[in-house]
Amino acid sequence: MVQVKNKTLKDLRNEKNLSLSQVAYKLGIHSSYVGYLERAERTLSIDRAAEMARIYGVSLDKIYELYQNAK
């Protein structure tokens, strides 16, 4: 049986052809922190999630769904 991998924030960033550094710059945070968020190793605040939704052009719900998929 093949297990399907759930899409994550990292997958979305890659689809948008953005680097960790580019996203970090737009968010005003360090690139390593973006990596922590993509792996759900840090709590994603509503403000940061809203900014990510704007950067990626998706809904806030989608950001939280992808964040949860990394857990």
**CATH entry, 9-69, from 1.10.540.10, 3.20.20.370, 3.40.640.10, 1.10.260.40:** 1.10.260.40
* Of 9, 23, 14, 24, nearest in space to 70 by CA: 9
Residue 41's pLDDT is 97
Q: Give the Å distances, CA to CA, from 46 to 21, 43, 63, 64.
A: 21, 10, 10, 9
The pTM assigned to this predicted structure is 0.91
CA 9, 15, 56 angle in degrees (round to 5)? 60
Burial of 51 (0-12, 13-18, 19+ CB in 10 A): middle
- 5-56 pLDDT, tens per residue? 799 999 999 999 999 999 999 999 999 999 999 999 999 999 999 999 999 9
